[in-house]
Amino acid sequence: VNAYGATKNLGELFSNALTNKEYQVDLSLDQREGNNGTISAFTYQANTSKTPYGTWRKVGFFKCSYVSTALKEENKYGAYMDNLLTLNLGYAGWVNFKTPTIVKGKYKVVIHYAGAPGVKAYYTGGSLTKFNLDDYQKSMYMWKGLPGKFTDPAKQANPNASGIASDILWESVTFDRSEGHTFKATMMDINAKTNGSYRQMWDFVEFIPLND
C-alpha cells in the first residue's frame, strides 16, 4: 500500500497534520474516493455485508483524528503513523497480502489492531478470524479481552475508548529464504455479514526476530 501511495502521489495521506476529523480513502475496486489506479499490494474477496460501504469501505485507508485541541500531535487510537487499514469484507471474505522481503530466520508474528465503541459487543467473546502465513495457519478471536488488552494503560478500563491492542499470531515461524511471503486473513464470524457496524481496523503486522 505504501508503494501504491507513492506512485499515485498520495504521500500527504501520511504526512498531513492530524485534524479533528477522521476520513477514509477507498482502496477497493469501488473507488469511492476516485480512481487512483490498480493496487498490486493485495487482493481481496468481499462478500455480502450489512455494513454500508459508504460508512466502511471494503478495503480502506483510514486517517485518524487528533485526540483534542490540546493534543493535536497524537491520534485518538494511538495508531502507528496515524492511520489504520479498514476491512469490511463480509462472512468468509478475505484479504491476501504479499509481504516485503523478510530476511531468512525465525520470527514471532504479532498483529496490532484497533478497538472502538462500535465493536465493543465483541470484547467478551471475540470475533473469529483465520490467518494464513504461507503454510502456517491460526484462528484467533479478534477483540477478545478488550479493553483490558489495550496497549495504553489509561484505556484498559474504558470500553468506550478507541485504542490499539496486540495479539500474537505465531510464537515462532521459520523462513528458510530471504523473500516475500503470503499473508491472508479470512473473516469467519457471521457478524461480518449480519451486523451493520462490523469492520476490522488493523494497525500493522509485526515480524519480531528471534534468536536461536
**3 state SS of 64:** coil
Helix (H) or strand (E) holding 191: helix 191-194
pLDDT surpasses 80 at 15: no
Rounded distance, CA 144 to CA 165, Å? Answer: 10
- Residues 105-164 have pLDDT tens digits of 999 999 999 999 999 999 999 999 999 999 999 999 999 999 999 999 999 999 999 999
- Give tens-digit pLDDT for 75-119: 999 999 999 999 999 999 999 999 999 999 999 999 999 999 999
Taking the C-alpha atoms of residue 42 and residue 209, their distance in angstroms, rounded to an integer, is 24
Structural class in CATH, domain 2-210: mainly beta
Any idea which residue has 504521500 for its cell? 11
- Taking all residues of the chain, what is their mean pLDDT, rounded to a whole number? 93
Residue indicated by cell numbers 489509561: 154
Q: Are 193 and 100 in contact (CB under 8 A)?
A: no
